[in-house]
Structure 1
Amino acid sequence: MELKFGNHRSKDLQNDWNEYWEGNFVFEVLSELEKNEKENINYDVELNILQDMLIEELNINNTY
């Protein structure tokens, strides 16, 4: 939604979106974290760890 309205927090991604248009992007769920009601989990930390793992696994230059 942020990209469509032109106000995404990543200026580089927004610029690419504006230049190449929506049809040239693919968004996929690569992994999911399961919610655990029994433990006190910091999901912000867990998501950052998962992101780092995926970036390394996919050999992505993390500029966003």
Structure 2
Amino acid sequence: MEKAVILWSTNPEAMFIKRILTYLNPATMFQKSEHNFNTRMMHGINRISIFVFLFCLVVMLIKFL
């Protein structure tokens, strides 16, 4: 009998971080999952803005610490 694999955590913070990391994963960035060009472009711009935001947070942490 096989063991059940838990693919998610019951901790809401861990689930939130896992969803963000899955969204920002470069392997999923270029998949052809959405058929609509506008939706793909919207998700691409969202990913770019999240990367810029995270980069700015790192710069601010380095600057103020």
Whichever structure has more helix as a proportion of its residues is 2
Q: TM-score, normalised to structure 1's length?
A: 0.33
Q: TM-score, normalised to structure 2's length?
A: 0.33
Higher relative contact order (CA 8 A, sep 6+): 1
User: Based on CA coordinates, which of the two structures has the bigger radius of gyration?
Assistant: 2
